[in-house]
Chains A and B, each alone.
Chain A
Amino acid sequence: MHDGSGRILVQGLNKSFGPINAVQNLNFSVEPGSVTGFLGPNGSGKTTTLRMILGLISPTAGGAFINGQPFSRLPNPATVVGAVLDSQGFHPGQTARTHLRCYTAALNLPDQQADQVLELVGLSSAATRKTGGFSLGMRQRLALATALIGNPQILILDEPANGLDPEGIAWLRGFLKSFASTGRTALVSSHLLREMEHTVDNVVIVSRGQCVYNGDLDQLRAAQQSRVLVRTADPATLVEALRQSGLTAEYLPDGSLAVPGTDSKTVADLALGAGVAVHGMQEENLDLEQIFFQLTTGQYSGGAPQGPPQPPQGAAQWGPGGPQQPPQPGAPPPGTPPSPGVGQGYQQVYPQQDQNNQGGNGGYGGNA
């Protein structure tokens, strides 16, 4: 079943559970030959999206395609895509081997395949033990073995690092890299970028059911830059002065301002020129984890500044402080549909953000 494609395409995917919009107008694609991280905080719709790709949940609108087909049209699907969605899917009375042999039978595969995947995940010695006594790490490995039993072209893992010890994570990293190096596709979700940083080539970052970044991890890393945190008595005046110099600013929950894309000297000069008292200033260099955090925070806070001072009137023109609007149906956010892939550069999707804010800083936006 290796027809050379192995591409996953998600187009305009929506899912609501009653009043809750778990996934909103999600677009991204996953290319073969790479490990793609599917990142976002807990509750950002990752698992729902993966289950929609696998045909386990039907989308409210839009669709997900594997090799150009919806999952339900794949003949013998386990030979095309293997998935680990939770590590609990075993009958406790079955042994690792009898569990796997249920699936070799279902897929019309020789029974030796069960022992081969056990060998592959390092569980050969536990083949005859009952799964009820397995540790979380062993369950993860057995779940992976189950996903691999059909020798699939695409592997989808939901939070695979949960329950793995550092050695296990290192093993999984090597495994995924070699899996992808044979031209196959790996899509791996996680709520921790750091955990995935050295494993993945591309990332799809979701927040509140929407895609906020889809592309090359190195590009995201290159977008790292410093920003200046200023604590001032009169933020509104300082923001106005910054805006006149072409700089943007955002309110942080503690009441200070964050000014990206500049240095503290520039900000201090501007504050002096505007006659604003500065109580404190700090330069901050963002690492990848912070960028991820910035892209995905606001999920539960609603994005508006929480502490004093409140943004002055007209804040929506320059700051991120306006209420977070879901994207209008039928009006795709700027940058969609994304079409990533190594060497194509990256595209960003800022469905909730102001144009000004996107213009200058390139790498991170203002949901802090």
Chain B
Amino acid sequence: MNGLIKAEFRKIFTTHLWWALLIPVVVLSFLAGWGGTEFGQMSIIRQMTGGQDLPTGLLTMSLSTNYVTVFAALLGALAMTGEYRHKTATTTFLTANPRGAVLGAKLIAYTNIALIYGIANTLFASLGGLLGAGSDGFGEFAQWLMVGGAGILSIVLWTLLGLGFGAMVTSSVVAVLVLLGYVLVFESLVSSAMSSSAMSWLGDYLPGAASNGIVSNLSVPMFVSDVAGAREPMVSETAYRLLHSVFGGSYGFPWWGSLLVFAGYAAVFVAGGWLTSSKRDIT
């Protein structure tokens, strides 16, 4: 098994994909961190808040996390489909018994790559934030650590979900198109269709909403508490809902609830990939 994991690391680091997908992660994180904190210091905001800067550092960190998870999902989706695409799946399965061992080795190796992505996101979003607003806006160190850690978890889980999904569909084109279509278009259509119906509560349990909630259900309450201070209990629900509609998550939903829901999705796809790839005919 150790050998198979080593083999997966070699496959990753001798090809370009891992750093090619890391570039947009780093760039988006940095820009979101920078732009978001600059926004919190614009004069129009100062006028509204009576001269106070908004501590948007944690908020924009969660925003950047929810942007870059799609690249983590693509990384995972291409892990297994790449083997089918380049027809290396045959040789790979000939060197491992049972086939599940290959998937297991990939899960471990790609979890490590996803950690790199997650750490890069946290660091570059923070760097952008520092450039935009200095060390203000990140709350307490523990809060920064929590939001950053939640972002890393979200990115790792998206990678694993993508990996399981890719192992199920085997076609890299299908995997990429379906993932992008779902994340960027389909889920927002579904949740807006549901929002006016009795099913609206279900929207929080969709994969995208759940993954956004992992970080945003932490960062939004932290932001409100930073801004409002002692007046926090008086902040209206509308303010929370407005912030959640921009930064993800939902009012009153705990971040660990989102984490459990999304981890469930990731587990389902990993199990599906496991089952289908152990039975499939490799032709």
Residues of A within 8 A of B (CB): 48, 51, 54-58, 71-78, 81-83, 85-86, 88-95, 98, 101-103, 105-108, 146, 150
Q: Judging by beta carbons under 8 Å apart, are B3 and A89 in contact? A: no
1/0 per residue, CB under 8 A from A, across B1-38: the answer is: 01110110111001110000000000000000000000
Partner of A101 from B10, B93, B96 at Cβ < 8 Å = B10
Q: Judging by beta carbons under 8 Å apart, are A51 and B282 in contact? A: yes
A residues in contact with B231, CB < 8 Å: none
Q: Judging by beta carbons under 8 Å apart, are A108 and B15 in contact? A: no
| 7 interchain pairs, CB-CB under 8 A | A55-B97, A56-B282, A72-B98, A89-B91, A94-B14, A106-B3, A106-B92
Given known A94-B14, A98-B14, A101-B10, contact A106–B90 (CB-CB < 8 A): no
B residues in contact with A73, CB < 8 Å: 97
Q: Judging by beta carbons under 8 Å apart, are A98 and B10 in contact? A: yes
A residues in contact with B14, CB < 8 Å: 91, 93-95, 98, 101-102
A residues in contact with B281, CB < 8 Å: 51, 56-58
Instruction: Flag whether B94 is at the interface (Cβ < 8 A).
Output: yes
Which of B64-72, B81-89, B133-141 is found at the contact surface with chain A? B81-89
Q: Judging by beta carbons under 8 Å apart, are A103 and B95 in contact? A: yes
When chains A and B are docked, how far (Å) is the Cα of A113 from the Cα of B112? 27
Instruction: Flag whether B283 is at the interface (Cβ < 8 A).
Output: yes
Number of interface residues of B (CB under 8 A): 29
How many A-B contacts if CB must be within 8 Å?
90
When chains A and B are docked, how far (Å) is the Cα of A93 from the Cα of B15? 6
Listed residue (A56, A71, A90, A98) with the most chain B CB atoms within 10 angstroms of its CB: A56
Other than A78-B94, A82-B94, give 20 A-B pairs with Cβ distance below 8 A. Answer: A55-B93, A56-B90, A56-B93, A56-B94, A56-B282, A56-B283, A58-B281, A75-B97, A81-B94, A83-B90, A85-B90, A86-B90, A88-B86, A89-B91, A90-B88, A98-B10, A101-B14, A106-B92, A108-B2, A108-B3
B106 to chain A, nearest CB (A): 12
Q: Judging by beta carbons under 8 Å apart, are A83 and B7 in contact? A: no
Q: Judging by beta carbons under 8 Å apart, are A78 and B95 in contact? A: yes
Task: Identify the 8 closest CB pairs spanning chains A and B, nearest first.
Answer: A106-B7, A56-B282, A105-B6, A105-B7, A98-B14, A108-B3, A57-B281, A78-B95
When chains A and B are docked, how far (Å) is the Cα of A74 from the Cα of B93? 12
Partner of A74 from B3, B7, B87, B97 at Cβ < 8 Å = B97
Partner of B279 from A58, A76, A105, A146 at Cβ < 8 Å = A58
When chains A and B are docked, how far (Å) is the Cα of A92 from the Cα of B16? 11
A residues in contact with B88, CB < 8 Å: 89-91
Q: Judging by beta carbons under 8 Å apart, are B87 and A102 in contact? A: no
A residues in contact with B89, CB < 8 Å: 89
Partner of A106 from B16, B86, B87, B95 at Cβ < 8 Å = B95
When chains A and B are docked, how far (Å) is the Cα of A56 from the Cα of B91? 10
* Chain A residue nearest in CB terms to B98: A72
When chains A and B are docked, how far (Å) is the Cα of A88 from the Cα of B90? 10
B residues in contact with A86, CB < 8 Å: 87, 90
A residues in contact with B98, CB < 8 Å: 72
* Chain A residue nearest in CB terms to B102: A106
A residues in contact with B4, CB < 8 Å: 106
* Chain A residue nearest in CB terms to B12: A102
Given known A75-B97, A85-B90, A101-B10, contact A107–B282 (CB-CB < 8 A): no
A residues in contact with B97, CB < 8 Å: 55, 71-77
Q: Judging by beta carbons under 8 Å apart, are B86 and A92 in contact? A: yes
A residues in contact with B94, CB < 8 Å: 54, 56, 77-78, 81-83
Given known A91-B82, A94-B14, contact A102–B90 (CB-CB < 8 A): no
Partner of B10 from A77, A83, A102, A107 at Cβ < 8 Å = A102
* Chain A residue nearest in CB terms to B10: A102
A residues in contact with B95, CB < 8 Å: 77-78, 103, 106-107, 150
Interface residues of B in 230-283 (CB under 8 A from A): 279, 281-283
* Chain B residue nearest in CB terms to A71: B97
B102 to chain A, nearest CB (A): 9
A93 to chain B, nearest CB (A): 5
B residues in contact with A90, CB < 8 Å: 86, 88
When chains A and B are docked, how far (Å) is the Cα of A102 from the Cα of B3? 9
Listed residue (A54, A58, A71, A105) with the most chain B CB atoms within 10 angstroms of its CB: A105
B residues in contact with A92, CB < 8 Å: 86
A residues in contact with B93, CB < 8 Å: 55-56
When chains A and B are docked, how far (Å) is the Cα of A95 from the Cα of B16? 13
When chains A and B are docked, how far (Å) is the Cα of A93 from the Cα of B82? 12
A residues in contact with B11, CB < 8 Å: 91, 102
When chains A and B are docked, how far (Å) is the Cα of A80 from the Cα of B28? 49
A residues in contact with B86, CB < 8 Å: 88-92
Partner of B87 from A75, A88, A98, A101 at Cβ < 8 Å = A88
Q: Judging by beta carbons under 8 Å apart, are B87 and A107 in contact? A: no
B residues in contact with A75, CB < 8 Å: 97
* Chain A residue nearest in CB terms to B11: A102
